[in-house]
Amino acid sequence: MAINDIHTPVLLDRCVELLAPALERPGAVLVDATLGMGGHAEAFLQRFPELVLVGLDRDLDALAIAEERLKPFRDRVHLVHTVYDGIQDALAGLGIPEVAGVLFDLGVSSLQLDRVERGFSYSKDAPLDMRMDNTSDLTAERILATYSEQELRRIFHEYGEEKLAARYAKAIVEARDTIPFVRSAQLVAVITAVTPVVVQRAGHPAKRVFQALRIEVNQELAVLERAIPAALDSVAVGGRIVVMAYQSLEDRIVKQILAKASGSTAPAGLPIELPEHKPLFKLLIRGAELASDEEKAKNPRATPVRLRAAERLRRAA
């Protein structure tokens, strides 16, 4: 099956439209901070024949697929195995001081979801892995085996926004004393057994627990809190950043960081805004932009997306 048949990049045309003004200059560098299978990257390299692309990903399988996909552009592509908060180190290693654009397509990728053995899906039985980088040590199995009931309750509540976090944590700790959790079906069975029927009717009871475990395994929110400021620091004047988030916790972090970067630092009551207090960035979109109904129908994975974008106005004094 062709890669394009299994991977449809989310909001591709809109991402190109937003980043184009910054990428049309000769020798412009775009960082695809979440390269995945290279769908967005391929489109940008085709659209901008002088563009240099730096692709980052923590998933070695994704990097291998993207490398093959981007072979026609190999002279303009640099691929780096790193988590996206390593953007500045990656650029320094390539001798690139600043970039024209940065793209983030957050969350779990199509590749990770579609490969059952990676353990990301609650709907298919698989080993409890959930690592985006299979060279890292922490897995969902290890979390379920070693975290205390209080720690499990915390991550289910904070990262899954799960109202039944305490009930699920207690059930997991009681169950693991008899049989260790090694497969996703075991976890789903325990969660389902202690979930009221009325709650089950509202959606799969394991959805939020699996989200929380995935975030904890990959430290997604902590990484994101470091990555967006690092990316902003790497953007040249006139350069742009586009971020696509798929759940509220990610989007809230992105929103807050971009709001701060695009706000004045003038003290309250100052009659005149001095140049050093002017915003470093301007927002390109009011609020978060959603996928159109047409896009959602064509690509269901675009349904929860929240897109935000900004442009650098100046460097800090």
Known binding-site residues for S-adenosyl-L-methionine equal 38-40, 57, 84, 105, 112
Report the 10 Å Cβ neighbour count for 241: 29
User: Reduced to 3 states, what is the DSSP secondary structure of residue 36?
Assistant: coil
Q: How far apart are CA 10 and CA 122, in angstroms?
A: 23
User: Reduced to 3 states, what is the DSSP secondary structure of residue 30?
Assistant: strand
Q: How many residues does the chain have?
A: 317
* DSSP sequence for 229-266: HHHHHHEEEEEEEEEEE-SHHHHHHHHHHHHHHTS--P
8-state DSSP, 52: E
Q: How far apart are CA 151 and CA 110, in angstroms?
A: 29
- Annotated binding residues, written as ranges, equal 38-40, 57, 84, 105, 112
**Residue 250 CA: distances (Å) to CA of 256, 259, 271:** 10, 14, 36
- Across the strands, what pairs with 30? 53, 101
